[in-house]
Amino acid sequence: MTDHFDERLQQQTMLADSADKCFADLCSKDTVNAAEAGQWPTQLWDTLTDLGFLSALVPEQAGGLGLHPADILPTVRIAGRYAAPVPYGETIIAGWLLGRVGLPVPQAPLAFGPVDRNSTLTLSPTAQGWLLNGRLRQIPWGNSVERIAVLCETADGLRVASIDPKNATQSVTTNLAGEPRVALDFTDTIIAGTDVKPAPADIQANTLYLYGALLRSLQMAGALITARDLAVQYTSERIAFGKPLNRLQAVQQNLAVLAGQTAAANVAVDMALDALAQGSPDTDIAIAMAKIRTNAAAEIAARLAHQSHGAIGFSHEHPLHHATRRLWSWRDEFGNEAYWAERVGQRVIDAGSEEFWPLMTRAAQL
């Protein structure tokens, strides 16, 4: 058991080091700015593909690495630290879902859906295969991905479908961080029978929404680290009244709260990853708590980081906005604090009075 744990930890460390080097080398401030202006970061994406990160969860027999999600998903936090302007986590999860059911996994940008609770898709059998109707809202980089892995309820149960976004009517917008978010409308769209498979028993209708919440929690945890580090660096270098800003008590208080919020959010995310690694029955609660905690930290930390920087932090030339605009955007995606708090509360109620204390103590030990 100990040997297996040590081997897994070593693998996670190697993946994290490799990811950090890749993003540090290829995801500069200029890369992020260019992506927000519409330029796809080809070198970054090709390198991530060549290193195997994007196919990490695809089964080995399908050309992937066949890793456990808990081994590769920590690198999503690193992507968040560097404000990586690509559907990194989305491609990993979409590839995992397609690979799980034996559908082809292209070496290209991917997305999954639904990612919005107001999205509605219907899939019905037809002589040509399947008929797809409905709307997918807020698909990240939906105008750049090659396939979208979706979960659809049918009369015969939950199905996984691989759909081509080019077959939809697209409406492209961007979030506050300048990342593409696309609505796709499908009207009597024919989906080949070979592109639809029954969902495995352990995949439920909310599985992708949970994974999406975990992805955004990881990204926000990374962005919080960046905002904290930038604030610490700036206040140590900026001289006011004859001494560095970080020697002033009010600034020190802000930095302490900022560091505390960053630490708390990252601990919550680590607990969710641990629950996922252990196959805990309370993984959904751990993910919900991670999203609640990172959302709460995002509001406080972004404000304090900008207060620490003053006017320069709002300038386009300074990199702080790459972190804070993403914090403000990501906290609203895959459920806000109220949504996930309600889910946790409902889960506790459903467990009943006899299970209340065991559920709470299990969650505390994750």
- The string of pLDDT tens digits covering residues 249-291 is 999 999 999 999 999 999 999 999 999 999 999 999 999 999 9
Closest CA to 199 of 319, 81, 103, 318: 103
Q: What is the mean pLDDT of residues 221-250?
A: 96
> Does residue 2 carry a pLDDT above 80?
no
Those residues with Cβ within 8 angstroms of residue 272's Cβ, 6 or more apart along the chain or in another chain: 214, 217, 283, 286, 287, 289, 290, 366
E-strand ranges in 241-336 read 243-244
Q: What percent of the chain has pLDDT over 90?
A: 88
Query: Residue 365: its pLDDT value, please?
Result: 57
Domains of the chain: 2-198 (2.40.110.10), 207-364 (1.20.140.10)
Supply the mean pLDDT for the chain.
95
pLDDT band at 7, cuts 50/70/90? Answer: confident
pLDDT band at 117, cuts 50/70/90? Answer: confident
> Does residue 355 carry a pLDDT above 70?
yes
Answer yes or no: are the C-beta atoms of 363 and 344 closer than 8 Å.
no
SS3 content of the chain, % helix, strand, coil (to 5): 55, 15, 25
> pTM of the predicted model, to two decimals?
0.96
